[in-house]
Structure 1
């Protein structure tokens, strides 16, 4: 392509972004429409497809703090965002881009990367919806740590600015440079060392060291035991329950034949070269494992496979995938398998993805068809403990999250249009910080409604586990 043609493409797409701003100015993005919705009723709609006995754990975790509530309330925010003006500039969204859904993981080259690491709600939509969810999470988390208003504003502004600056930088780069952009965790830590306070440096170093240790071999020691000479997953109900105990009345041999067939179907979704290492493992056992906050109650399984010997494990996680919470709010694609939606979204947004990332679909013992996505349970995965951050540490972490979200959106959307819409000034940053303050107020009110509903017996709340 000639330089003239390339310049024309950039100009045409940038013009689209410039044209969008008068129609949806930054001030409109800051607005949060009033809503009479009942947060508890919206959350309870999700319960219909979840495992009833796990719901007290879900609500117990959400009731703990406003930030914990926010983590589990992506459906609420999707409903709220659908009532606000949007830029019309679309990209592949994470759909749940809060601070705790970013973290460290190992790339196929065995380097530690920092990136978005949760894609249950991924769906195409207006770019600013992810930015709003991220910056609002900064405000909610900072309030939980009792940071002052000026400091909270500074951190929120830093997060939005990092996104805006990254997107504008990506608009100046070529397509392959944009596709390959990523953050290497250990190098990033070294670069930030002089700007972090001592507590944040120790926390960051600990996160990297802990992530390196989190692999299938570590999981083997933590999640299994040897019984009568056989490696078996331990039983710790309700958080970890072997599948034989979940379906006590089922014939075990029939159950495992079904699971083995599902693994064959999952294998077909892997790249051909990634099937080679997978084929060298043998399936041993499965168990139901409770994970996260918003995901509690959905069906999440771990599968133990063994390779060359008893000390060569592979743990996979098969996680139920329902429709994205954004799907009812947007005109977008339909998917034959919601697990496929998650995997395809992840492959677009992440700089590098798990070699065992795939999907599967099957009918359960209750006769209901369910979709799943599959990945390694632990592959040097780690995320920062947001609830213990210092102000300096949170500001740098928020910048980092804003940056990698910019990388992801530039890969999946029209970076030229988005960059031009954002512009060089701080107007967008101010709008995001303003929205974040308003949404944190709403989150605190919604959290209070949830705790009141628990006291009234409208929802089942157990002790957080």
Structure 2
């Protein structure tokens, strides 16, 4: 989080919602229809995602914070993320204003089913990652995640040894029919194939792993020459920081909530996920696919930053729109623009929110860096 201001924004969802609770009412934020939202809608959580049938699209790729809530929250968080990415690329402040205009345009066009003039090829980092995703195979994932194509997980800084109880629990979990069905859902596999645990380890994967269950499981699917390998992520699901809509009916379990939100917002990913229990903890299982990547939006040109804002907002808009009927989409698109800005082609509530949030997070980032430096010095 100390590496850059944008990394601080990505890793500080709680601070975002603290600001929203403190200042959101004074901004007169529009109250959209109660639908599943990402809850942590920054550009690091958008990227190419593969379906079980082998198709690849840019969708939301992390749904830990998903709730039934106000879709305006996703629009604001995405805009903040884009603004901080622009600052990280040393782009002038006018770029942020142009990006916010493109966020609302791309989002509304997606709601209304209008085609976007922006293409993935207009943003070089997106073009390169999409090309990479379409050409990746199992060996690429294995070399990247477990450093080898051999059916073992190397212990070290990232992967730690399991306790006997944890290993037994993983074996028990992979003996369940629901897990077997999830592991064999890809079109290249037979749904009657047996699934065997070849190796497993605790996965120290960023700050989101600290204090929570997180395991990597290397599984063998099928037998003989038809045997396929699979890397499955088991992640503890915890309470979301994002506020839920009043009287909304969501699953009580956190893992069930994450999977339900994923299926609504990012079906390519959600249909490959499973909610379960691990040692009395709520966990989500999903197979990691070679095509599931994230974008590193650094060193953008102004034209690329503006195009990326439209493109990413369109992805979020489509994820929201598929949960609404035509009339609801039209009403929400109109509600977004009720407070049109005088000097910017975007609603005033969105622009003022971004300005305040950038200021708030810049101050928070500098304080975070000061504390981080003091701890290292000590």
TM-score, scaled to structure 1: 0.69
Is the contact made by 2:174 and 2:196 (CA closer than 8 Å) also made in structure 1?
no
Residues 34-66 of structure 1, C-alpha deviation per residue, up to 9 Å, x if partnerless? xxxxxxxxxxxxxxxxxxxxxxxxxxxx11111
**Partner Cα separation in structure 1 for residue 161 and residue 138 of structure 2:** 17
Counterparts of 1:60-75 in structure 2, within 5 Å, are 62-75=1-14
The answer to whether structure 1 residue 362 and structure 2 residue 272 are counterparts is no
**Partner Cα separation in structure 2 for residue 382 and residue 274 of structure 1:** 20
The answer to whether structure 1 residue 315 and structure 2 residue 258 are counterparts is no
Alignment partner for residue 366 of structure 2, among 416, 441, 448?
A: 448
Q: CA deviation at 1:452?
A: 2.4
Residues 153-203 of structure 1, C-alpha deviation per residue, up to 9 Å, x if partnerless? 111211122112222337xxxxxxxxxx9x9xxxx99x454xx3xxx44x3
Is the contact made by 2:48 and 2:133 (CA closer than 8 Å) also made in structure 1?
yes
- 3-state SS, counterpart of residue 269 of structure 2: coil
Task: Please list every run of 5 or more consecutive structure 1 residues that lacks an aligned counterpart in the other structure.
Answer: 1-61, 171-180, 364-368
**Partner Cα separation in structure 2 for residue 271 and residue 225 of structure 1:** 24
The answer to whether structure 1 residue 421 and structure 2 residue 335 are counterparts is yes
Is the contact made by 1:92 and 1:348 (CA closer than 8 Å) also made in structure 2?
yes
Structure 1 residues 116 and 106: CA distance shift in structure 2, 3 A? same
Is the contact made by 1:217 and 1:313 (CA closer than 8 Å) also made in structure 2?
no
Counterparts of 1:199-278 in structure 2, within 5 Å, are 200-201=123-124, 203-222=125-144, 223=146, 231-237=151-157, 239-243=158-162, 247=163, 250=164, 255-265=166-176, 267=178, 274=185, 277=191
Over the aligned positions, Cα root-mean-square deviation in angstroms equals: 3.2
Q: CA deviation at 1:136?
A: 0.9
Q: CA deviation at 1:67?
A: 0.6
Structure 1 residues 429 and 296: CA distance shift in structure 2, 3 A? farther
TM-score, scaled to structure 2: 0.83
Counterparts of 1:272-287 in structure 2, within 5 Å, are 274=185, 277=191, 279-287=193-201
Q: CA deviation at 1:305?
A: 0.6
Residues 221-251 of structure 1, C-alpha deviation per residue, up to 9 Å, x if partnerless? 451658xxx83211122x22242xxx3xx3x
- 3-state SS, counterpart of residue 233 of structure 1: coil
**Partner Cα separation in structure 2 for residue 145 and residue 375 of structure 1:** 33
Structure 1 residues 271 and 235: CA distance shift in structure 2, 3 A? closer
Alignment partner for residue 393 of structure 1, among 304, 319, 322?
A: 304
Task: Please list every run of 5 or more consecutive structure 2 residues that lacks an aligned counterpart in the other structure.
Answer: none
Structure 1 residues 215 and 241: CA distance shift in structure 2, 3 A? farther
Counterparts of 1:87-236 in structure 2, within 5 Å, are 87-89=30-32, 90-169=34-113, 191=119, 193=121, 196=122, 200-201=123-124, 203-222=125-144, 223=146, 231-236=151-156
Q: CA deviation at 1:134?
A: 0.4
**Partner Cα separation in structure 2 for residue 379 and residue 277 of structure 1:** 20
- 3-state SS, counterpart of residue 232 of structure 1: coil
65-74 or 383-392: which moved more?
Answer: 383-392
Residues 312-337 of structure 1, C-alpha deviation per residue, up to 9 Å, x if partnerless? 21111111110111248966445342
Q: Match of 2:266? A: 350
Q: Match of 1:408? A: 319
Residues 91-137 of structure 1, C-alpha deviation per residue, up to 9 Å, x if partnerless? 21100001111100222331221111110000011111110000011
**Partner Cα separation in structure 2 for residue 268 and residue 234 of structure 1:** 24
Q: CA deviation at 1:438?
A: 1.6
Q: CA deviation at 1:354?
A: 5.5
Structure 1 residues 321 and 282: CA distance shift in structure 2, 3 A? same
Residues 277-312 of structure 1, C-alpha deviation per residue, up to 9 Å, x if partnerless? 374331111112233555555332111011335872
Is the contact made by 2:174 and 2:180 (CA closer than 8 Å) also made in structure 1?
no
Is the contact made by 1:103 and 1:384 (CA closer than 8 Å) also made in structure 2?
yes
Q: CA deviation at 1:389?
A: 2.3
Structure with more of its chain in helix, by fraction: 1
**Partner Cα separation in structure 1 for residue 232 and residue 309 of structure 2:** 30
Is the contact made by 1:217 and 1:312 (CA closer than 8 Å) also made in structure 2?
no
Aligned residues: 359
Structure 1 residues 395 and 145: CA distance shift in structure 2, 3 A? same
